[in-house]
């Protein structure tokens, strides 16, 4: 990202927002509602057969509501998939560490056994008498004195050897038990991932089939309805005066996170993706903050659970806005009532109004 872009974030957000209004449905600002009576095509020949009227809004509203539910359910399943994926990665890493420890422990145990064997062979060479007996049977006073120290050191060495072998065997048992537990958890999370993946594909496929059944004019009207609904929600949110007291300035890390998110505008939403070519909602926010030097949880639900909550009037650019009662969507606040987010399948990372979806709360990664 160039230096100029970093210094002109607000301008970039404004421009992209304008482009989004013109090019993509479901953003913060809708295209103007057609004026009643002005729907005739300019330049149309009098008496020509008019274009078929679009389906009643009531029917398309049902379609829109159904699509919203399907994509919401897909988002919930995506969060479950991402959580299972994160746990699987951690467990795999833990198993790898344990495997290395078990290998090292076995090698150590073999060395200790070799030492014990060497001691037994030395004892055999002295006629099978242990050092203590040889010391007591000695007739040579000097040898008796020297032997006293040798016996003491030998006993200490033997005790140390036995202690090390015991500890190593105990560690090996613990590592093996831990590894077995991690393998069981790994299998559970692999199954959870597979189940979530199935749900995601099922919900998205159903949504796509529903959209594919629409005629071109129906799709255009549906896009209008989505844009109008988003505009209405944003306007109502702003009319509450919620932003009147929002004057927080981005922290240095927050500014970097917003710059990263801005640089991803236009990249496609792909469930489970963390970049660099595509993202899902929490993949975008987690990678943006990772780029800013702050590791945060991978999923929107864990971001809501683990990060510090702040009041809406205290939010600042870089904070994360969590949406829906189940915390199934997350976006990055970019300032001036706008967010940057990866909306859903079939859409791209975009700018939208912060109030276009029901807000659960705001969290701050660098509190």
Q: Which of 17, 231, 281, 309 is labelled catalytic?
A: 281
Whether 341 is a known active-site residue: answer: yes
C-alpha distances (whole Å) from 141 to each of 130, 134, 147, 149, 150 are 19, 13, 10, 13, 14
Task: Tell me how crowded residue 328 is: count the other CB atoms within 10 A of its CB.
Answer: 24
Whole-angstrom Cα Rg for the chain:
34
Nearest C-alpha neighbor of 218 from the set 54, 83, 51: 54
Q: Sheet harboring 338-341: ordered strands across?
A: 308-310, 359-364, 320-323, 329-335, 338-341, 350-353
Using CA atoms, how far apart are residues 285 and 79, in angstroms rounded to an integer? 13
The answer to whether the CB of 327 falls within 8 A of the CB of 356 is: no
Whether 17 is a known active-site residue: answer: no
Cα 231 from chain centroid? 29
Place of tokens 């290395």: 100
Q: Which of 17, 72, 231, 341 is labelled catalytic?
A: 341
Whether 309 is a known active-site residue: answer: no
Using CA atoms, how far apart are residues 301 and 329, in angstroms rounded to an integer? 8
Strands 359-364 and 338-341 come out as: unpaired
Residues tagged active-site: 281, 329, 341
């Amino acid at each position: 990202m160039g230096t100029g872009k970093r210094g002109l974030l607000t301008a970039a957000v404004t421009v992209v927002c304008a482009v989004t209004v013109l090019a993509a449905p479901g953003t913060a600002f809708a295209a103007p509602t057609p004026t009643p009576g002005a729907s005739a095509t300019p330049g149309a020949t009098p008496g020509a057969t008019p274009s078929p009227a679009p389906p009643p809004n009531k029917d398309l509203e049902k379609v829109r509501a159904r699509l919203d539910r399907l994509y919401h359910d897909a988002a919930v399943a995506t969060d479950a998939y991402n959580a299972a994926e994160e746990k699987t990665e951690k467990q795999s890493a833990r198993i790898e560490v344990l495997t290395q420890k078990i290998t090292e422990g076995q090698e150590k145990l073999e060395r200790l056994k070799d030492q014990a064997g060497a001691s037994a062979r030395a004892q055999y060479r002295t006629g099978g008498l242990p050092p203590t007996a040889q010391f007591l049977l000695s007739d040579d006073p000097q040898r008796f004195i020297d032997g006293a120290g040798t016996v003491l050191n030998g006993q200490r060495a033997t005790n140390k050897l036995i202690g090390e072998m015991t500890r190593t065997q105990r560690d090996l048992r613990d590592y093996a038990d831990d590894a077995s537990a991690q393998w069981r958890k790994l299998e559970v999370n692999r199954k959870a991932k597979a189940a979530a993946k199935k749900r995601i594909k099922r919900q998205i496929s159903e949504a796509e089939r529903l959209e594919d059944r629409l005629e071109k004019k129906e799709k255009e009207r549906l896009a209008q309805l989505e844009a109008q609904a988003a505009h209405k929600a944003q306007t109502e949110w702003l009319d509450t005066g919620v932003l009147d007291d929002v004057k927080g300035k981005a922290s240095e890390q927050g500014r970097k996170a917003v710059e990263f998110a801005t640089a991803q505008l236009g990249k496609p939403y792909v469930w489970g993706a963390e970049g660099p070519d595509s993202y899902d909602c929490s993949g975008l926010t987690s990678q943006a903050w990772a780029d800013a030097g702050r590791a945060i949880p991978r999923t929107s639900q864990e971001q809501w659970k683990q990060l510090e909550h702040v009041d809406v009037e205290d939010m600042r650019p870089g904070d994360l806005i969590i949406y829906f009662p189940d915390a199934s969507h997350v976006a990055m606040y970019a300032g001036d009532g706008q967010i940057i987010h990866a909306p859903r399948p079939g859409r791209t990372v975009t700018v939208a109004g912060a109030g276009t979806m029901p807000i659960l709360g705001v969290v701050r990664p660098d509190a």
